[in-house]
Amino acid sequence: MISIVVCTYNGSNRILPCLESIVNQEGNPVFELIVVDNASNDETNSIVTNYLENYASINWSVIKEIKVGLKYARITGLKSALFDWVLFCDDDNILYNNFISNCTKFLNLDSNLGVLGSYGEPLFNSEKPVWFDKYSSSYALGSQLRSSEDIGNLNYVYGACSIYRKQPLLELLNSGYEPILGGRIGNTLSSGDDVEWCYLMQFLGFTVSFEESLKFYHVLNANRLTWDYYLKLKSGITSSAGVLEVYKLYYERGIRSILSLQLYYFTFSFKSFALYVKHFIISKIAKATSERQLALVILRSRMKSYFFHWRNASKYFNQLIQVFHA
């Protein structure tokens, strides 16, 4: 049994294939469907309602979340869920028809499992760019959690079609803990909220895993396959670095004092600045390439993230200390 939460913002022109893939799952799995309308200003609500009214045998609901931001939509879905496991399915995801039946096979095999990631495959609505395969992982595609990753480090899976154990995360949120990253807000490409939630589950003592047999399609329209869009996407992904570093300093380096945090954070901030300046100078004197352009975008976004979150890093750290430091 699983709760499927589909968060959408102005998804009227893309959400129906997603819903169709859910309601037509094979094997008659037991699930509920919750669509969270995150302050849409188009016809999303009515389109979803009219479609789902044809499926009286399915337990479904459409909930309006007026606070703009993927974080708020997912929290609303989590708090509304009836079952122990919650699948967060984006409105441009199309599940394989055996996704839910396969999913239930893995969720209860490990009592320490907190998050289970799945395998995204691209579904192009236009010609695939020549550069796409090299950078496809940024689009929530392919395998995750390489076995070479060090034990003891924080791991994560992308948010698209990820499954969370509800109760521990819900208890954390109800205790007053406030996740820092808001995720995508409207049409912005800010991200990192899925990484933060995976980190929090590990702070709570649960593991993050990946199952390649759980597959879905990620629909990619032409406007998301331009190089300019990809640069904005990578900038949004990297913009969470300053926040996520606080979690890693606590968990991986065992930092427990504000002074140590500030020293490390200052060092990382200075290094990010120096590295950006170095590559900026190189970009002015060397031959322009797409790789150099991408590197500069990533480094600039990381640097800005460290400096933007500098004043609040201690606040973020104190929240971790208060909740998790016995």
* CA 285 to each of CA 117, 277, 288, 290, 292: distance values in angstroms, whole numbers, following the listed order: 43, 13, 9, 15, 12
Annotate 218-238 with b (16+ C-beta within 10 A) or e (fewer): bbbeeebbeeeebbbbbbbbb
14 φ, ψ (degrees, to nearest 5) = -140, -15
DSSP alpha helices (H): ranges in the chain?
15-23, 44-52, 70-80, 99-107, 132-135, 166-174, 193-203, 227-238, 241-251, 258-285, 290-308, 313-324
Nearest to 303 by CA among 275, 284, 267: 275
pTM of the complete model: 0.95
Which pairs from 63-68 meet CB under 8 Å and 24+ separation? 63/34, 63/35, 63/36, 63/37, 64/36, 64/37, 64/39, 65/36, 65/37, 65/38, 65/39, 66/39, 67/38, 67/39, 68/9, 68/38, 68/39, 68/185, 68/186
Question: CB-hemisphere CA count at 13 Å for 143?
Answer: 4
The residues spanned by each domain of the chain are 2-226, 245-324
Residue 8: predicted pLDDT: 96
Nearest to 164 by CA among 115, 198, 104, 107: 115
Q: Which residue has the tokens 């893995």?
A: 106
Beta bridge partners of 94: 217
Q: Which positions ≥6 away from 47 have C-beta within 8 Å?
A: 12, 15, 16
Calpha distance 136→142 (Å, rounded):
8
The class that CATH gives domain 2-226 is: alpha beta
Question: Are 217 and 199 spatial neighbours (Cβ–Cβ below 8 Å)?
Answer: no
Calpha distance 141→144 (Å, rounded):
9
Length of the chain: 326
Residue 148: predicted pLDDT: 42
Q: Which positions ≥6 away from 143 have C-beta within 8 Å?
A: 119, 210, 212
Question: Are 306 and 245 spatial neighbours (Cβ–Cβ below 8 Å)?
Answer: yes
Residue 104: predicted pLDDT: 85
Nearest to 164 by CA among 99, 216, 118, 122: 118
Is 135 in a helix, a strand, or coil?
helix
pLDDT in tens, the chain (326 residues): 899 999 999 999 999 999 999 999 998 899 999 999 999 999 999 999 999 999 999 999 999 999 999 999 999 999 999 999 999 999 999 999 999 999 988 998 889 999 999 999 999 999 999 999 999 999 999 999 864 445 678 999 999 999 999 999 999 999 999 999 988 887 778 889 999 999 999 999 999 999 999 999 999 999 999 999 999 999 999 999 999 999 999 999 999 999 999 999 999 999 999 999 999 999 999 898 999 999 999 999 999 999 999 889 999 999 999 999 75
